Amino acid sequence: MMTNDETEIRRLLERYAMAIAVAGDGIWEYPAIDPEQAFHRDIPVHYSERFTELLGYPEGSFPQIASSWWDAIHPEDVAKSSKAIAEHFMTGKPIFAEYRVINRQGEIRWWQVFGDSMPDAEHKGKIRAIGVVRDITALKVAEETALHRLELVTRQQKASRALSTPIIQIWDDIITLPLVGAVKSGRASAIMERLLSEVVRLQARYAIMDMTGVDAVDTTTAEQLYRIIRAVGLLGGQVRLSGLNPAVARTMTKLGVEVTPSISHRNLQDALQACLRDSDRQVMH
């Protein structure tokens, strides 16, 4: 007959096994082994029915030795498994790893592996290791899908920003930025970032901001435009404005933003001609 302690231990083990089964995890157990045998391929290992099921093997057809598991690990991820085991023996922390396995049907699955080891009570100097494996393929697919969607949104946002602030190189050292629609504070910040980047990348001497398509700007944006002019100047370039309408001009004047006639022109053609004259070049008609 079993003692009360033995009965309680048996009940705990049964509960543990039921909990693992409900979770859908597979159980693995290394019997008493020497620590240095942890990486040996020929040592016996107990795999639960669910473990072998996760790899697509029917009950009793998966050899109960370490090599069966090692051979199922994706070749590119074997190092991850080895590292997790090595770190366990070096630090004493539980085993944890995520890696790919290849099941019997040739499908790639993602596994999460947990485990721990302890001295074997019946064999001095030996250890026992036990743990579970969990199939997290669905989670990984969801993560990858979300990541791809995020990358797509990011690319779309970049493309949208580029379209909203199209910068065109119209001469060796002259670029133009035609603005259309409302220029709010947030858009003005994006304009500055993109314009400064292109001035540096293209080594532009002149940047023409054509505002023919801008009906109005608020005071915050007008101040931001003035900052853009100054920032380009600090990079060794010069901003030329073209197509300013009376409403925009009044707003900038009200703010005390000094826009001299030498940098403001009636239209894009006049601005381009002025830049070419300053570079000792002439436009031939």
pLDDT (average), residues 102-114: 95
Query: What is the percent of the chain where pLDDT is above 70?
Result: 80
CATH class held by domain 163-278: alpha beta
CATH for 15-138, options being 3.30.450.20, 3.40.50.720, 3.30.930.10, 3.40.50.11540: 3.30.450.20
Q: Which alpha helices (H) appear in 29-170, and where do they start and end?
A: 49-54, 66-72, 78-91, 137-164
- H/E element holding 114? strand 108-119
Q: What 3-state class would DSSP assign to 208?
A: strand
Please list, in sequence order, all residues whose beta carbon lies within 8 angstroms of the beta carbon of residue 276, skipping any fewer than 6 positions away: 171, 174, 282, 283
pLDDT (average), residues 6-14: 55
Q: What is the pLDDT of residue 282?
A: 43
Instruction: Name the residue type at position 33.
Output: I
| Strands in 166-266 per DSSP E | 168-171, 174-180, 206-213, 238-242, 264-265
Tens digit of each residue's pLDDT (9 = 90 or more) over 237-279: 999 988 888 887 887 777 766 666 668 888 888 888 888 888 7
Q: What CA–CA distance (Å, rounded) separates 128 from 26?
A: 17
Q: Where in the chain is the domain with CATH 3.30.750.24?
A: 163-278
Q: Where in the chain is the domain with CATH 3.30.450.20?
A: 15-138
* Of residues 214, 156, 148, 202, the one with CA closest to residue 175: 202
Q: What CA–CA distance (Å, rounded) separates 20 from 139?
A: 19
Tens digit of each residue's pLDDT (9 = 90 or more) over 133-158: 999 999 888 888 877 877 776 665 55
More confident position, 160 or 67: 67
Answer whether 0.85 is exceeded by the pTM.
Answer: no
Q: What 3-state class would DSSP assign to 129?
A: strand
Of the chain, the end-to-end C-alpha distance in Å amounts to 111
